[in-house]
Structure 1
Amino acid sequence: MTTPANNGLYDDPVNPIFKPSTFKLDLSRAALVVVDPQNDFLSPKGVSWPFFGESITENDTVKHIEQLFIAAKSSDITVAVSPHYYYPVDHNWNFGGPLEHVMHDIGMFGRLGPLTVEGFAGSGADFLEEYKPYILDGKTIIASPHKVYGPESNDLALQLRKKGVSQVIIAGMAANLCIESHLRELIEQGFEVVVVRDATAGPRIPEGDGYLAAIINFRFLAHALWTTEETIRQLRSEI
């Protein structure tokens, strides 16, 4: 993933300590999980684009996520989306971490209420338009919203278990936040988890490079760390 922009910053080490991954994809028990494929992350009009746009553009994240949707649908594996929504009542929480405060302050993932879709279409909380054919096909699982970063507060794991899934290919946003949190929790829940490294992105802010932080931890935690190209090749080879 060396580019002129990152100058090899995210490349894997030449002499790693960890043994090569022995993960083997089994389509009969695999799922693609896409986290937060929403406008506020992935659209240039989204409220977080000033923080994530550079990384999204460099990784070609939007295109790669769509390619994964297409490949997963062609392979007929389970596809699930874990979205992030905030309702007016959520803005009355008594405490939160630094990024939580930012998300609330900029109105990220805002919806008018849990039982209404008024104002939802085309909003920052809505799915990216080009993904809707794959998400709204009546087959994709749309989990209940996670509220901070991980899936502990939604029904994603339940939905996957009910489909007999024990392997998860994970992509979406954001690398060091919801993707890493989903990775950690799904591992704790007993799933094998592959992260698609160029189908995500991270913030670049004075506090640090979120994508670099995530890539380091993905190497430590994920059962495999693939590119979109590698993932599609694996999906097709199993058909």
Structure 2
Amino acid sequence: MSTTYPESRTAYLLVDPYNDFLSDDGKVYPLIKPVADEVGLLDNLRTLDREVRAHGVPVFFVPHRRWEPGDYEGWDHPNPNQMKVFQRHHFARGEWGGEWHPDFTPKTGDTIVQEHWGSSGFANTDLDFRLKQRGITHVIIAGLLANTCIECTARYASEMGYHVTLVRDATAAFRPEMMHAAHELNGPTFAHAIVTTDELVASLAQ
């Protein structure tokens, strides 16, 4: 059964659309490319960007912390993902890898929320505040990675009372089993809808 997305109360959350994640020469893209190619990630993200804007759905950019010198140094217990960023300088501020992918850049009227240090786009940011100020109750979440920032952001959204939609082919992960866990095992415990890009576009058209 398709989900109805209330006009003026639905937002599209695009998580971490950086060159390092989505461009051929990005530091992370080669690791997700097999899964990304299999699901048609880039084309589906382009379709979502076009369709949500055509239907007047506000777009929120939900960016990971851009690494800069000094980050994580002296921390008591950085998590494993933070240690990877510390060692490899993913999404470095002021560098190409930390810039938006050219197909997914903020437009006039878009909202860029505070950068998240961990996996959740809500924790220690202004995302919840800014969504509530727009009267948003339904969130559509896409971007990277399926089993980390997407899942954590979506779980947090559900816990805070939002209606959550995951778009299973507008994300990717390092391995197919991570995608399977995100959408077949974990997602159904908190997401209200888990759909394909085509299914979402059809629902928006209603």
The equivalent of 1:221 in structure 2 is 190
Which stretch has the larger CA shift, 65-74 or 175-184?
A: 65-74
User: TM-score if structure 2 supplies the norm length?
Assistant: 0.92
Question: Does the 8 Å contact 1:78/1:163 carry over to 2?
Answer: no
Evaluate the alpha carbon distance shift between residue 22 and residue 62 of structure 1 in structure 2; reply closer, same or farther with a 3 A threshold: closer
The equivalent of 2:11 in structure 1 is 31
Helix, strand or coil: the match of 1:88?
coil
Deviations 1:26-59 (A, max 9, x none): 1221011110111111112111123211111111
The equivalent of 2:114 in structure 1 is 144
Question: Does the 8 Å contact 2:116/2:124 carry over to 1?
Answer: yes
Identity %: 31
Deviations 1:39-97 (A, max 9, x none): 11111211112321111111111111111111111111211010012232323133222
Deviations 1:134-177 (A, max 9, x none): x2x22111111011100212111111111110100110000000
Question: Does the 8 Å contact 2:67/2:85 carry over to 1?
Answer: no
C-alpha deviation, 1:22, in angstroms: 7.5
CA distance, structure 2, for counterparts of residue 218 and residue 42 of structure 1? 23
Helix, strand or coil: the match of 1:56?
helix
Report the structure number with the largest CA radius of gyration: 1
2:97 to 124, 130, 141: 124
The equivalent of 2:80 in structure 1 is 98
Question: Does the 8 Å contact 1:176/1:213 carry over to 2?
Answer: yes
Question: Does the 8 Å contact 2:4/2:204 carry over to 1?
Answer: no
Helix, strand or coil: the match of 1:130?
coil
What one-letter code is carried by the residue in structure 2 that aligns with 1:146? H
Please list every run of at least 4 consecutive aligned residues from structure 1 whose deviation after the TM superposition is greater than 6 angstroms: none
> Which 5+ residue runs of structure 2 have no aligned equivalent?
none
What one-letter code is carried by the residue in structure 1 that aligns with 2:104? Y
Which runs of structure 2 are paired with 1:1-239 in the superposition (5 Å)? 23-84=3-64, 85-92=66-73, 93-111=75-93, 119-120=94-95, 123-132=96-105, 135=106, 137-150=107-120, 151-204=122-175, 209-215=177-183, 216-237=185-206
The aligned length equals: 202
